[in-house]
Amino acid sequence: MSPFTAQQPVRRFAPVCHDISLAGELVGLHDSGALWWPDEDTLVVSDLHFEKGSSYARRGVMLPPYDTAATLEKLAGVIDAFDPSRVIALGDSFHDTNGSDRLPATYRAMLTTLQLGREWIWITGNHDPVAPVSLCGETMEEVRLAGLVFRHEPEEDAAPGEVCGHLHPAARIRRYGRSVRRPCFATDGQRMVLPAFGVLTGGLNVLDEAWSGLFPPRGFSVFMLGEGRLYPFTASRLVAD
């Protein structure tokens, strides 16, 4: 007997954001991990890692083959909620270079449907340095719009207004002797790092050494993802792993 019989309902998203100012532009942070830019009618998601399951399976590690479907479902939910005229996927959209080639036909159809009637930009990432095979959308290394620049990996000495992913930010807070760890947005008001949107993606604690140099020490904030809301904390309140 297994207790896991009840199917869980698909999560519906409300187009309600936590608004903040990023290098002078008003952007909204959504609890799905997406960033909404109302002035440009643009939705930004990062690190989808489509076909991560099959990428592992090729090496004999049989992860559940449902990651692409689940990530797509989540993406469709957010796109339904905001109905953006432009979508930017901030890189590592596919877990490996052949990922888009392996994408099963059903999901290819579903993705193509999502792309209909909007501008779609694939930013290249370290996992997917080339354009996806037989999919709509433009492929670019980075894109500049108004006061913001979108690229996969944060650059040293970038000008204010950089929006990037790659690091899979996560934060941990501690209270009553218990700690809670969640994916999060990380920002100092000049640069914004998005959490990974894909469902089988882990996180890297923002206090890890890999983050040094990105933000002034302890001079940044995180927005931890919760159920229907975000939880803001200044870096000084966080604990390391």
Partner 1 sequence: MSAMDAAGPPLLPPEFQRWFESRGWQARAHQLDLLEVARNRRSALLIAPTGAGKTLAGFLPSLTDLAATPRAKPGAAGSRRGVHTLYISPLKALAVDIARNLEAPVEGIGLDIRIETRTGDTPSHKRQRQKKIPPDILLTTPEQIALLLSDAQGREMLTGVKTVILDELHALVTSKRGDLLALGLAALRRLSPQLRTIGLSATVAEPDDLRAYLVEQTGDEPDREARNLADLVTVSGGAAPDITILDTDERLPWSGHSARHAVPDIYEIIRKHRTSLVFVNTRSQAEALFQALWHVNDENLPIALHHGSLDVGQRRKVEAAMAAGALRAIVCTSSLDLGIDWGDVDLVVNVGAPKGASRLAQRIGRSNHRMDEPSRAILVPANRFEVMECQAALAASRAGEQDTPPLRTGALDVLAQHILGVACAGPFLPDALFDEIRTAEPYRHLTRRDFDRTVAFVATGGYALRTYERYARLKDDGDGRLRLAHPSFAQQYRLNVGTIVEAPMLKVRLVRSKAEGRRTPVGRGGRMLGEIEEWFVDQLIPGDTFLFAGEILRFEAIRENEVYVSRARAQAPKVPSYQGGKFPLSTYLAASVRAMLADPASWSRLPGQVRDWLELQRLHSALPRADGLLVETFPRANKHYLVCYPFDGRLAHQTLGMLLTRRLERLGARPLGFVANDYALAVWGMSDLGAMIAEGRLSLDGLFDEDMLGDDLDAWLAESSLMKRTFRTCAVIAGLIERRHPGKEKSGRQVTVSADLIYDVLRRHEPDHILLEATWQDAAQGLLDISRLGELLRRIQGRIAHTALDRVSPLAVPVMLEIGKEPVFGAAQEALLGEAADDLVREAMG
Q: Distances in Å between the alpha carbon of 71 and those of 5, 67, 135, 175?
A: 22, 6, 17, 31
Q: Which contiguous run of DSSP H or E holds residue 219?
A: none
The answer to whether 240 contacts partner 1 (rule: CB under 8 A) is: yes
What is the smallest separation between the CB atom of 190 and partner 1, expressed in angstroms?
21
* Cα 34 from Cα 222, distance rounded (Å): 14
Q: Distances in Å between the alpha carbon of 5 and those of 67, 73, 82, 98?
A: 20, 20, 32, 35
* Cα 55 from Cα 42, distance rounded (Å): 30
Determine which residue in the list 138, 159, 179, 219 makes contact with partner 1, applying CB under 8 A: 179
The answer to whether 234 contacts partner 1 (rule: CB under 8 A) is: yes
Report the site for partner 1 in 69-128 (rule: CB under 8 A): 69-70, 104
What is the smallest separation between the CB atom of 169 and partner 1, expressed in angstroms?
9
What is the smallest separation between the CB atom of 104 and partner 1, expressed in angstroms?
7
Contacts of 65 (CB under 8 A, 6+ apart): 53, 54, 57
Report the site for partner 1 in 33-62 (rule: CB under 8 A): 52, 54, 56-58, 60-62
Interacting residues with partner 1 (CB under 8 A): 1-8, 52, 54, 56-58, 60-67, 69-70, 104, 167-168, 170, 172-180, 182, 196, 199-205, 208, 224, 226-227, 231-234, 237, 239-241
